[in-house]
Amino acid sequence: MSSSMKTWGQVLLLYATGLGAAGQFAKLSSGFAGLESFYGEAAGQLGFAVSLISFLGVALGLVAGMIVARIGFRRVLVAGLVLGAVLSAFQATLPAMPLLMLSRLVEGAAHLAIVVAAPTLIAEITGDRERPVAMSLWSTFFGTGFALFAYFVTPLAEVHGPALALWLHAGVMAVLAAVVPFVLPPARTHSEEPLGVREIAARHVAVYRSPFIAAPALGWLCYTLTFVSVLTLLPRLARDAGWLATALPLVGIVMSLTLVAALLRRVPAVPVVIAGFALAALGVAAIALAPASPLPWIALFAVLSLVQAGSFAAIPQLNRDLSARALSNGAVAQMGNLGNLAGTPVLLGVLALGGLPGALTFLGACYAGGVALHLWLARRRRLS
């Protein structure tokens, strides 16, 4: 087997772990109707159970980066996969709602382990030529994972019950945990930094003051404030929301894997991200001019793929040190979870107060903010 084939085999395995991480959200969505029926009066808490993983991501995203850098990428990845498999198997027994909620909170640790360790490893094992394409591929893991669950698992869950989706996820995570140690490079320790409360607080300050480590994460916050919230509230924002809700994520995935991946092999990632935010702001203006047309919405998600893929490609370009890359991935996880948590309630409130014009203003402000943040951080990097 050639070196290139071996590398891409490892990249695809790491991408599969990302699909498993996406499945930690998608597995409850796939059997949501059945879970509502099973839990009866307690079913009102299921929506919170879906998003509970994100709370731990906000609190401990950067801590996960510190842990990964300290004890080794492969070791943390395997631990996350094993924990994810065990928790999915436990959830498949359909425990009492308080126990289900507790398991989802703990599952946030497994999710963080995967989404911090896997992209850091991808950046480590790929060369400069392959890395932009590999990071573009990684950037699609969440949307692809949801699409796969929706297409393959949801019909099975509707026929055989919601526990099936959970058992299937447990099995996939267990298989990945068994394969990873035999395929990926040996784990290495990159940092001896202590993990006390004072050190963690100091590291948060240092990371978010760094124009290199923090740049992908701060831009990612502007992106995630809008992505999930728009898809969630699409029926209130656009006509033909039914087919658009399926089409829009697919547009982003296809663009990331084709045109954006090719662009990132020729253009540095940060200018690609800035262009994506600027074009997205123009896309919002086009929606305001033609609110009844689906085309501006499709164009918006197409150009947001520049932000999606470019943000992950920027992490290894801005940070040569592996520990810094782990911290940057941890910060991206932290800001991404914050954006996912805050975006929907904020956009919902803006819609209630200002209708569609207010919502479009909010979206435009997020994208303009992404441009401003990246330009400011680029200036700081030039002066450092």
CA distance 134 to 132: 5
User: In the predicted model, is pLDDT for residue 49 greater than 90?
Assistant: no
Q: What pLDDT, on the 0 to 100 scale, is given for residue 200?
A: 76
Read off the pLDDT of each residue in 285-306 and give the average, rounded to a whole number.
93
Residue 220 belongs to some domain of the structure? yes
321 and 251 belong to one structural domain: yes
Chain segment 122-153, per-residue pLDDT in tens: 988 888 788 888 888 998 888 888 788 877 88
Q: Does 205 share its domain with 329?
A: yes
User: Which is more confidently placed, 169 or 199?
Assistant: 169
Could you give phi then psi for residue 353, rounded to 5 degrees?
A: -85, -40
Residue 225 shares a structural domain with residue 359: yes
Asked if residue 39 and residue 125 are part of one domain, the reply reads yes
Asked if residues 28 and 151 have their Cβ atoms less than 8 Å apart, the reply is: no
Whether pLDDT at 292 is above 80? yes
* Rg of the Cα atoms in the chain: 20
CA–CA dist 380, 312 (Å, integer): 20
Q: State the residue range of the domain holding 340.
A: 196-384
- Under the banding of pLDDT at 50, 70 and 90, the label for residue 15 is very high
Does one domain contain both 104 and 203?
no
Identify the burial level of 369 via C-beta atoms within 10 angstroms of its C-beta, where 0-12 means exposed, 13-18 middle and 19 or more buried.
middle
pLDDT digits (tens, 9 = 90+) for 252-271: 889 988 899 899 999 999 99
Final residue of a structural domain among 155, 183, 211:
183
Q: Is residue 189 part of a domain?
A: no
- 110 pLDDT band, cuts 50/70/90, is very high
Task: State the CATH number of the domain containing residue 236.
Answer: 1.20.1250.20
Q: Do both 4 and 132 map to the same domain? A: yes
Q: How many Cα atoms sit within 13 Å of 295 on the Cβ side?
A: 4
Name, in order, each residue with C-beta under 8 angstroms of 22's C-beta and a sequence gap of 6 or more. 141, 142, 143, 144, 145, 146, 149
Q: In terms of DSSP H, where are the helices of 162-294?
A: 162-183, 197-209, 215-232, 234-237, 241-255, 261-264, 269-289
Q: State pLDDT tens for residues 73-105.
A: 888 899 999 999 999 999 999 999 899 999 999
Read off the pTM.
0.84
Do 333 and 262 sit in the same domain of this protein? yes
User: Does residue 225 sit in the same domain as residue 312?
Assistant: yes
Q: Could you tell me if residue 190 is left (phi over 0), alpha (psi between -120 and 50 degrees) or otherwise beta?
A: alpha
In a shared domain, residues 16 and 161: yes
Instruction: Assess whether 241 and 105 both reside in one domain.
Output: no
- From residue 194, alpha-carbon distances to 25, 65, 71, 202, 246 in Å are 32, 13, 11, 11, 45
